[in-house]
Chain A
């Protein structure tokens, strides 16, 4: 009886392992083939040979990239990189002092700030852009129609992800004790934030910045509908005339985004475990609506 039972268990175990590895193999094929294909496609020559010609010709498209990194970028990659920088800075200046202040002085506002920060997760970008359209028309005629004004909308877009990251960072330190100690030693509020809090949550800040950069570089919906040419919009235009170059640049931006995410995973993995895993930070609306 016992032998028969063990035999039964063993068959079931083997069946389970076969099932698991078949599922993993199919998933690996489905998810890896399209990624691999981008590199295969962008290195394919006319007669089936391998060539880096598409990758090398990226710099021959002035609409895509040039050396103008000034306040009025005219190439898509430059504009997207500058947008990523501005968005990250505005996000930090807006979010870090507010979150610290709310934790110290206005605890009952904590839920309100959290709710507002997670709100963009439930509003699709294509819906938000309908409301932004008249605002940008007004901004364009009265203030500036530079592509860099997109950063104003992008800050809202990255808010939920950055909030979660910074919230995890602040949750891991004793904000109250640290700031009281600093205040009792005569530090101004600016010093408290800049010289006491910020160094203590540097990993969470880096995490939030990298997420913002990854999101801004991949943004298409808002830029396309407000009629600005950022990296992704230009890729679609280019894809209609020269698919090889377009896919090469898309592949390069993907590698760049992956590098950022690996850095995030690396930061999250060392030291005190107070930072959200990248998976959890990226997990979409689920955590927001559960809260």
Chain B
């Protein structure tokens, strides 16, 4: 705050002497902020970008990227992509249904406000606590499982799938669905009831309304939201690591392993190349999302 005071004095004294705004020292007030973000946001990014092309001895190399073709990394990449795609599609479909149920109610109703606020909280509710919540409910000692088992439904008869990738998918839906509600609700709000009336007065059926009117208008928004959900699942780490502690089936866990291996085989260059792979995928998806949002806003 004291720094913010310096430029004002300097400017006042300096302007007449230097003759003109060009020599204004106002920018000095932003130095602390920019120094901080350069040190703790841009420097780490640069370390990743440069380090990915650096060999252990310091030379320039593409070896780190050739390690990405190791069979377990290829399998992890495929698994992570599949999991993200499945949770994004299922989450988007369920979230869209929930959004539609909200939109068809009163716009200022209590129900709507409760669901929207809850979605805001739950979309951020990831991590360790979420994994614990599912272990405590549908896990092998959870009351849902004990209840189902005592009523003849043993859903772990073929193995405890909660601690595998399919189990992780169920857990991810817990934050994917609320995120979909937050992103998709504005699009649904943009649909005008007059369009439906117009369809009906022209003799269109409900199916035709959804197929030829509402569907094409909502589709870009839906697809964009699905991409956002994909990126969200793809970059998640805490939930996966708290739930699955063997085998590191997610790409984010592989980064963690390469970074500081517990058996002492850390490969920092390799960690950076996986990080670059991840950032490329997430960036592509985010760009797609932005383009689709722009397309969607044409009608909504």
Mark interface residues in A101-135 (1 if CB within 8 Å of B CB, else 0): 11001100100010010011011111111111111
Does residue A290 face the partner (Cβ distance < 8 Å to B)?
A: yes
A282 contacts across to B, CB distance below 8 A: 120-121, 123-124
Contact B278 A102 (CB under 8 A): no
Given contacts A105-B29, A225-B259, are A38 and B242 in contact (CB under 8 A)?
Answer: no
Can you name the residue of chain A whose Cβ is closest to the Cβ of B239?
A: A220
Given contacts A16-B104, A34-B174, A220-B242, are A188 and B41 in contact (CB under 8 A)?
Answer: no
Can you name the residue of chain A whose Cβ is closest to the Cβ of B2?
A: A190
B94 to chain A, nearest CB (A): 8
Does residue A24 face the partner (Cβ distance < 8 Å to B)?
A: yes
Can you name the residue of chain A whose Cβ is closest to the Cβ of B99?
A: A23
B237 contacts across to A, CB distance below 8 A: 124-126, 220-221
Does residue B44 face the partner (Cβ distance < 8 Å to A)?
A: yes
Does residue B5 face the partner (Cβ distance < 8 Å to A)?
A: yes
Number of contact residues on A: which range applies? 35 or more
A153 contacts across to B, CB distance below 8 A: 40
State in angstroms the CA–CA spacing of A278 and B117 once bound together: 7
Contact A126 B235 (CB under 8 A): yes
CB contact list, B129-188 vs A, under 8 A? 129-130, 132-138, 141-144, 173-174, 177-179, 182-183
State in angstroms the CA–CA spacing of A135 and B128 once bound together: 26
Does residue B47 face the partner (Cβ distance < 8 Å to A)?
A: yes
Mark interface residues in B273-289 (1 if CB within 8 Å of A CB, else 0): 00100110011001001
Partner of A94, one of B33, B100, B143, B241: B33
Contact B142 A189 (CB under 8 A): no
Majority SS of interface residues in chain A?
helix
Contact A247 B44 (CB under 8 A): no
Can you name the residue of chain A whose Cβ is closest to the Cβ of B178?
A: A31
Contact A106 B27 (CB under 8 A): yes
Does residue A145 face the partner (Cβ distance < 8 Å to B)?
A: no
Can you name the residue of chain B whose Cβ is closest to the Cβ of A254?
A: B129
Can you name the residue of chain A whose Cβ is closest to the Cβ of B120?
A: A279
Does residue B215 face the partner (Cβ distance < 8 Å to A)?
A: no
B124 to chain A, nearest CB (A): 5
Does residue B79 face the partner (Cβ distance < 8 Å to A)?
A: no
Mark interface residues in A202-245 (1 if CB within 8 Å of B CB, else 0): 00000000000000001011001101000010011001100100
Listed A/B pairs (8) with beta-carbon separation below 8 Å: A19-B101, A133-B260, A155-B40, A232-B129, A235-B128, A247-B136, A282-B124, A283-B123
List the interface of chain B (C-beta within 8 A of A): 1-5, 7-8, 26-27, 29-30, 32-33, 36-37, 40-41, 43-48, 51, 97-98, 100-101, 104-105, 111, 115-124, 127-130, 132-138, 141-144, 173-174, 177-179, 182-183, 228, 231-232, 234-235, 237-238, 241-242, 245, 252, 255-256, 259-260, 268, 271-272, 275, 278-279, 282-283, 286, 289-290, 293
